[in-house]
Structure 1
Amino acid sequence: MMTNNNNQESIQISGHLGPIKALDVPLTLEISPLTVFIGPQGTGKSLVSQLLYFFRDAQYLISTHSKQEEPEGSVRKVVEGIRSGENSKRSFSSFVMGDKVDISYTNEDNHQGKDDWTITCYESNRTIRPKSKFNQEIQSWLMKIVDNPSLSGDVQSNALFVPAERSFFSRLINSDPQSLGGSELPITMREFTRFLFKSADTHQKWQEDFQEQPLEVKEIDRLITHELRGHAVFSRKGLYARRWQWMPEESNRPIEIEMASSGQMETWPMVSIAQAMFGWKTSQRPLFIHIEEPETHLHPSAQVAITKLLTYLCNKGFRLVITTHSMLVLYVLNNLVLAAQNLPEENFDNLPDASLRLAPNQLSAYLFSDGTAISIRDRESGQLDESKLSSVLGNLETQYNQIQAYDILWR
């Protein structure tokens, strides 16, 4: 259920959790309406995003995927299920180095009070134990379902996790859609499938009555379609009824979705869901959206467009966490913050529209590396500090200059 965008959120890790080494001082990340995690591979970006996703949608995930075990077993089943399918032999305890790791989450807003929850993960016995208040909360959720099992279907999901493996959905959504909900897949992928199926029904309804399509759908089309060179369609009737297809730009002949380009296959699922959400009741929209590597397989101009989609959603009241490897995403966000600071509230040619600009206090960004994560947002300017990220580019430039100067300076 969507609320307002004034949540005060944070996640804290105490201990050695996989690549995160918060041994002496806990690692605390303040979460803004749009929060970006950037850094090299294997530094903990997705791990932290997945843990945050668990806390944000804990009641739904536990009520739906825990099979109503006691709180400790329920939490372990869901946390491990977010990382891997039910057939996996891996356990979350493989991330725990040392005796234990504490992971805490706080979320305070003006309407629903404050959540202050902690889980403790133990290496020796693979236990994931919810602490006091959180344990009591989970117990109350589970007891409601035990007393009335039909209530499990009434718990609304409050978060959407958009996984990195989006082309996987393009390959199977038409040919073997049932496999996308299989228990051998992680919970994140199964839940994403559910959202994708729901969005298909919404897009089909709009085909039958175009007038019902909200303004936001058209605005997202204007933002994205040209840069992707087309858009996804969900056929209503005929040979391809109830199948996703790709409609190339300036064409009226769709192709199978798995015949689209790699960037198109990666991007259409999250764009189609983003549009469909505006056709759902507010109570049915996820407040929290996690997106892994939205730039995957995209040309730079399309990366710019997809980043603007993120700020558009943020300005519509959604709270987003993004993991990325793209410097370009940060450059775009910096421009949108600067535009919000310097431009009047009107649109100009060749400058970001007012609906896409991002107020500085809406943005956080963290660089993950060397066992920790540091904020790269300058508190005074509100801008992201690109110098903290440019060492790779700087090294390449230095190397280029050395190669250029070989005949001049080295002999």
Structure 2
Amino acid sequence: MIIKFKNLGPIENGEIDLNDLKGINLIIGKNNTGKTYLSNLLYTYFKVRERQNIKMDEVVGIRFKDRLSDSDYETIKDYFEKKYEKEIKDTLSQVFHTSKDTFKDFEIEVNLSDEILEFKKLDDDTIIYFREMRKTIKLKKFEDKIEYLMEDYDENKGKRYITYNRKIEEEEAKQIIFGYFLHIKFFQKIYKFYSFPAERSGAVLFYKQLLEERSNILRELEMGNDESIGKISRYSEPVNDYVKFLNSISDRSKAMNELEIYKNLDERLKEILGGEVIIDTEDNIMFKINGDKIIDIGMVSSTVKTLAGFYLYLKYFAMEGDIVFIDEIELNLHPENQRKIMKLINYLSKQGIKFIISTHSPIITEEIDNMLLFEKVKDKINSEEMKEYEINSEYGLKTSDINVFHLHNKTVEKIKEKNGEFEIETFNTVLEETDNLYQTLLFYAEGK
């Protein structure tokens, strides 16, 4: 899916190909250029995929048939493009937790050409059980041909089914399964995504209170206390989701063993944090200093607060196919730890986790430059040099595994690869000016 958009906060226009998300997707730019806006637009897309309710009897403009023509495909394409556009526009203000007027000038154009080409080649089926008919209908699609196979329902067959409570005729049932088949192919939830917002270091201190307060306010609203409306915290959906995520960790830790992906990273994580993030017997997030001493999360460094949620994500949640949003990845991290966290991200992206990351840090972009260059010369560099710089054979990063989106001049520029590397020069001008000033001042300080 390609989305083109206009008037998204400070971004006047932009284009993103959501089929081209890489293992690492970096969003860079000066303050107030729209990094959070772009990140939240992508977050909105995944929210739409997550929240979409399938309306079985919704008509897409064509009746069920046994063969799809080119005009049918165009009708399907047009229908779902408009549906995505509407859903994204309606959900965007919810993600930002603001009024719809905030985005009254926002425009979006969705292009599903790639998806339709894949759908044309699709060879798949789906099954629905219609309880009132006591029938199971199986829809089979291969190339342009569609078959509907109707059978008496047999519970012993163990088929996946969806139950309907109303009387329904065979033709209508076929239309419903046809619409359902289209919806699950164009709108099914296929991702798990997680948010680590810039507010993460504060949220880890108050996550229980924040959720409890919201629950109490909603309860008051149910009881008719309209004055509680003004008490609802106006934090964005990524922050809200992070608070809910933190509150879910205790139950998850009881139901799941530590994941293999975490075990492989255990020592690297402990090295960055100087200890281990744990869940205690009272379901609190705590910190275990290297050794045995356990202290409250409120007493730890800002680095631990910032990375606590991400640490526990890796420990109990991380799976291949996840989408992970990290806002200001360098937040509260010493330059040495910024380098270490990017090495970690690079490794995780190779395990099938995709990252959408915003940053202001030249340390982050320079580390990525080094990874790209290492990939080109890894057969030349010797083991002693790798040991000196604390890198290994996993350190390299291919240009095909990263996107860099640069926000400037009120637009989104996807930085192009050149000679096997990206020229990420966003911070160079500022760094050069700082160094030139230092050299000038040093000249006068030395009395020359």
TM over 0.5: yes
User: CA shift at 1:52, angstroms?
Assistant: 1.3
Q: Residue in 2 aligned with 1:12?
A: 4
List per-residue Cα deviations over 1:347-376 (Å, max 9, x = no partner).
Answer: 853443334532221012122122123334
User: CA shift at 1:340, angstroms?
Assistant: 2.8
Q: Which runs of 4+ in 1 moved over 6 A?
A: 109-112, 144-148, 180-183, 407-410
- From 90, 108, 117, the equivalent of 1:102 is 108
User: CA shift at 1:329, angstroms?
Assistant: 0.8
Judging changes above 3 Å, is the alpha-carbon distance between structure 1 residues 408 and 213 closer, same or farther for their aligned structure 2 residues?
Answer: closer
Q: Residue in 1 aligned with 2:91?
A: 78
1:194 is the counterpart of 2:280: no
TM-score, scaled to structure 1: 0.70
Contact 2:29 2:426 in 1 (8 A): no
Q: Residue in 1 aligned with 2:35?
A: 45
In 2, the alpha carbon distance for the partners of 1:197 and 1:355 equals: 34
User: CA shift at 1:393, angstroms?
Assistant: 0.6
- 1:101 counterpart letter in structure 2: E
- 2:92 counterpart letter in structure 1: V
Judging changes above 3 Å, is the alpha-carbon distance between structure 1 residues 28 and 277 closer, same or farther for their aligned structure 2 residues?
Answer: closer
1:159 is the counterpart of 2:209: no
Q: Which structure has the bigger radius of gyration?
A: 2
User: CA shift at 1:245, angstroms?
Assistant: 0.5
Other structure's SS at 2:7 match: strand
- From 293, 317, 321, the equivalent of 2:356 is 321
In 2, the alpha carbon distance for the partners of 1:48 and 1:407 equals: 45
Residue pairs, 1:246-257, within 5 angstroms: 246-248=287-289, 250-257=290-297
Q: Residue in 2 aligned with 1:269?
A: 309
Residue pairs, 1:387-402, within 5 angstroms: 387-402=425-440
- From 233, 236, 240, the equivalent of 2:278 is 233
- 2:8 counterpart letter in structure 1: L
Judging changes above 3 Å, is the alpha-carbon distance between structure 1 residues 316 and 193 closer, same or farther for their aligned structure 2 residues?
Answer: same
In 2, the alpha carbon distance for the partners of 1:268 and 1:366 equals: 27
User: CA shift at 1:204, angstroms?
Assistant: 3.9
- 1:37 counterpart letter in structure 2: I
1:385 is the counterpart of 2:444: no
Other structure's SS at 2:293 match: coil
Percent identical among aligned pairs is 18
Q: Residue in 2 aligned with 1:21?
A: 12
Contact 1:246 1:260 in 2 (8 A): yes
User: CA shift at 1:397, angstroms?
Assistant: 1.4
Contact 1:34 1:311 in 2 (8 A): yes
User: CA shift at 1:158, angstroms?
Assistant: 2.8
- 2:357 counterpart letter in structure 1: I
In 1, the alpha carbon distance for the partners of 2:12 and 2:118 equals: 33
Judging changes above 3 Å, is the alpha-carbon distance between structure 1 residues 194 and 392 closer, same or farther for their aligned structure 2 residues?
Answer: same
Residue pairs, 1:99-248, within 5 angstroms: 101-104=107-110, 158-175=192-209, 177-179=211-213, 184=233, 185-205=235-255, 212-235=257-280, 237=281, 241-248=282-289
In 2, the alpha carbon distance for the partners of 1:274 and 1:294 equals: 16
User: CA shift at 1:336, angstroms?
Assistant: 2.0
Contact 1:266 1:296 in 2 (8 A): yes
Q: Residue in 2 aligned with 1:352?
A: 391
User: CA shift at 1:293, angstroms?
Assistant: 0.8
Judging changes above 3 Å, is the alpha-carbon distance between structure 1 residues 322 and 103 closer, same or farther for their aligned structure 2 residues?
Answer: farther
Q: Residue in 2 aligned with 1:295?
A: 330
User: CA shift at 1:263, angstroms?
Assistant: 1.9
Contact 2:24 2:354 in 1 (8 A): yes
User: CA shift at 1:322, angstroms?
Assistant: 0.6
Other structure's SS at 2:264 match: helix
Contact 1:63 1:145 in 2 (8 A): no
In 2, the alpha carbon distance for the partners of 1:107 and 1:315 equals: 28
In 2, the alpha carbon distance for the partners of 1:372 and 1:190 equals: 28
In 2, the alpha carbon distance for the partners of 1:341 and 1:180 equals: 52
Contact 2:276 2:288 in 1 (8 A): yes
Gap runs ≥5 in structure 1: 1-8, 65-70, 115-143, 149-153, 207-211
- 1:93 counterpart letter in structure 2: F
Contact 1:292 1:322 in 2 (8 A): yes
Judging changes above 3 Å, is the alpha-carbon distance between structure 1 residues 146 and 11 closer, same or farther for their aligned structure 2 residues?
Answer: farther
Other structure's SS at 2:265 match: helix
Aligned-residue CA RMSD (Å): 3.8
Contact 2:405 2:412 in 1 (8 A): yes
User: CA shift at 1:271, angstroms?
Assistant: 2.1
In 2, the alpha carbon distance for the partners of 1:40 and 1:80 equals: 24
Other structure's SS at 1:173 match: helix
Q: How many residues align?
A: 336
User: CA shift at 1:103, angstroms?
Assistant: 4.5
Other structure's SS at 2:329 match: coil
Judging changes above 3 Å, is the alpha-carbon distance between structure 1 residues 355 and 277 closer, same or farther for their aligned structure 2 residues?
Answer: farther
Q: Residue in 2 aligned with 1:337?
A: 372
Q: Residue in 2 aligned with 1:61?
A: 51
Contact 1:37 1:367 in 2 (8 A): yes
Q: Residue in 2 aligned with 1:117?
A: none
Contact 1:180 1:189 in 2 (8 A): no
In 2, the alpha carbon distance for the partners of 1:161 and 1:260 equals: 22
Other structure's SS at 1:405 match: helix
User: CA shift at 1:228, angstroms?
Assistant: 1.7
List per-residue Cα deviations over 1:357-410 (Å, max 9, x = no partner).
Answer: 32221012122122123334533222x324443000111112222223347899
Gap runs ≥5 in structure 2: 55-82, 121-160, 166-187, 219-231
List per-residue Cα deviations over 1:167-218 (Å, max 9, x = no partner).
Answer: 2222213555434778644222222233333433333456xxxxx4333212
Judging changes above 3 Å, is the alpha-carbon distance between structure 1 residues 275 and 408 closer, same or farther for their aligned structure 2 residues?
Answer: closer
User: CA shift at 1:327, angstroms?
Assistant: 0.8
Q: Residue in 1 aligned with 2:401?
A: 362
